[in-house]
Amino acid sequence: MQKKESSAADRVISISRLLDAPIDLVWEVWTDPEHIKNWWGPDGFTNTIQLMDMKEGGEWNLIMHGPDGTDYKNKSVFMEVDIQDRDWPPIGAVSIIVKLNHRTMTSGGRTTMTGGPTITSS
């Protein structure tokens, strides 16, 4: 069996969503541990944010608690944070590097967020 060469396009997932909120509020709920702990992850999960150091090279350590009692430890590193342009920070996970790139546009108090992960290495 011949190994298929993959391109960057094979490793990208792109999702777009229109949010009924201004960009500053969207930024806040993505970057403030007191907000993100309330909605991050699948339905039924809760989160404990141990560290969220929102700067280049800063870490985001959290534990996702599954409804069955299983804990899922996560450790990510912010590779870039561009607050001025609201260019969401790429996040690199420990076991596999995933870049999350989000672009936002605003119109009439609403925000369109487009982005998703690109798996860059394993």
> pLDDT 10s per residue in the chain (122 long)?
666 666 666 667 777 778 888 877 877 888 899 999 999 889 999 999 999 998 888 888 999 999 999 999 988 887 777 654 444 545 544 334 445 555 566 677 777 777 666 666 55
List % helix, strand, coil for the chain (3-state, nearest 5): 15, 45, 40
Structure tokens at 53: 């150091």
pLDDT value for 31: 85
* Core vs surface per residue 31-62: b (16+ CB within 10 A) or e: bebeebbeebbeeeeebebeebeeeeeeebeb
Supply the pLDDT for residue 34.
95
Cα radius of gyration (the chain): 16
CATH architecture of 12-121: 2-Layer Sandwich (3.30)
Can you say how many angstroms the Cα of residue 19 is from the centroid of all Cα atoms in its chain? Answer: 16
